[in-house]
Amino acid sequence: MTVVRPAGMADIEELVRLRAHLLDAPDANLPYRAGSSAEREAWRRDYRAWLAQELPEADGIRVAVIPLSDGTGLAACATAIVDRRAPSPACPSGRTGWLQSVVVDPVARGKGLGARLLNHLLGWFAGEGVDEVLLQTTENATGFYKRFEFASSGEELLFRTLPVRSAAA
């Protein structure tokens, strides 16, 4: 049986390794993909720091993992974050779930691990009082999420990167 569990501090390096399949992939046509070695080093450093801060607190955040069957690392991971927004008809409580960084190691794909992670996190969101779950995905993964009743919002997701401010600003 595949075990899904919350990530712990000992999982940080494996979480960085798995997330690199998204953010460092040379063939990924994603606007947030690391394009240089400096960008790769920066996101990895900052992600390690974020995990070190957030994993022990775990308030409104769940990083779920599936260990490799031989216990040598992680086969898959996903991050769930509860966001509080203004209430709407689709989300009367204002509690919205964000699903991020769903990654299955290429050697472990095709075994239902992504589905196990998704079911685990959807259950966790329900327990957190979340009314709706949002995610950003690629064309390649859209079919996977549609099998779990995710649908296009009809809105285009736009983003803008802000300049880095110094601590004195």
Q: Is the dihedral of CA 59, 9, 62, 162 positive or negative?
A: positive
pLDDT band at residue 168 under the 50/70/90 scheme = low
CB burial readout 102-135, b (16+ within 10 A) else e: bbbbeebeeeebbebbbebbbebbeeeebbbbeb
Segment 130-158 shows an average pLDDT of 88
Fold of 5-146: Aminopeptidase (3.40.630)
77 contacts 23 by C-beta, under 8 angstroms: no
Mean pLDDT along residues 85-92: 92
2-26 b/e with 16+ CB inside 10 Å = b? bebeebeeebbebbbebbbebbbee
pLDDT of residue 167: 57
**Contact (Cβ atoms closer than 8 angstroms) between residue 44 and residue 104:** no
Phi, psi of 116 (to 5 degrees): -65, -45
- At 33-85, the pLDDT tens digits run 777 888 889 999 999 999 999 999 878 999 999 999 888 899 999 999 999 99
Q: And the tokens for 72?
A: 């040598």
What pLDDT is recorded for position 48? Answer: 97
Residue 88 is predicted with a pLDDT of 92
DSSP 104-119: E-GGGTTSSHHHHHHH
Strand stretches in the chain, DSSP E = 5-6, 61-67, 74-84, 95-104, 132-135
Q: What is the pLDDT of residue 97?
A: 96
Model pLDDT, residue 33: 72
Q: Which pLDDT score, from 0 to 100, does residue 121 have?
A: 97
Q: For 92-139, write each residue's pLDDT tens digit.
A: 999 999 999 999 999 999 999 999 999 999 999 999 999 999 998 878
Q: Is the pLDDT of residue 165 over 90?
A: no
pLDDT at residue number 157: 77
Helix, strand, or coil here: 16? Answer: helix
Indicate whether 169 pLDDT > 60.
Answer: no
Residue 11 has pLDDT above 60, yes or no: yes
**Cα dihedral: 23, 29, 35, 39 (round 10):** -30
Predicted pLDDT at 161: 74
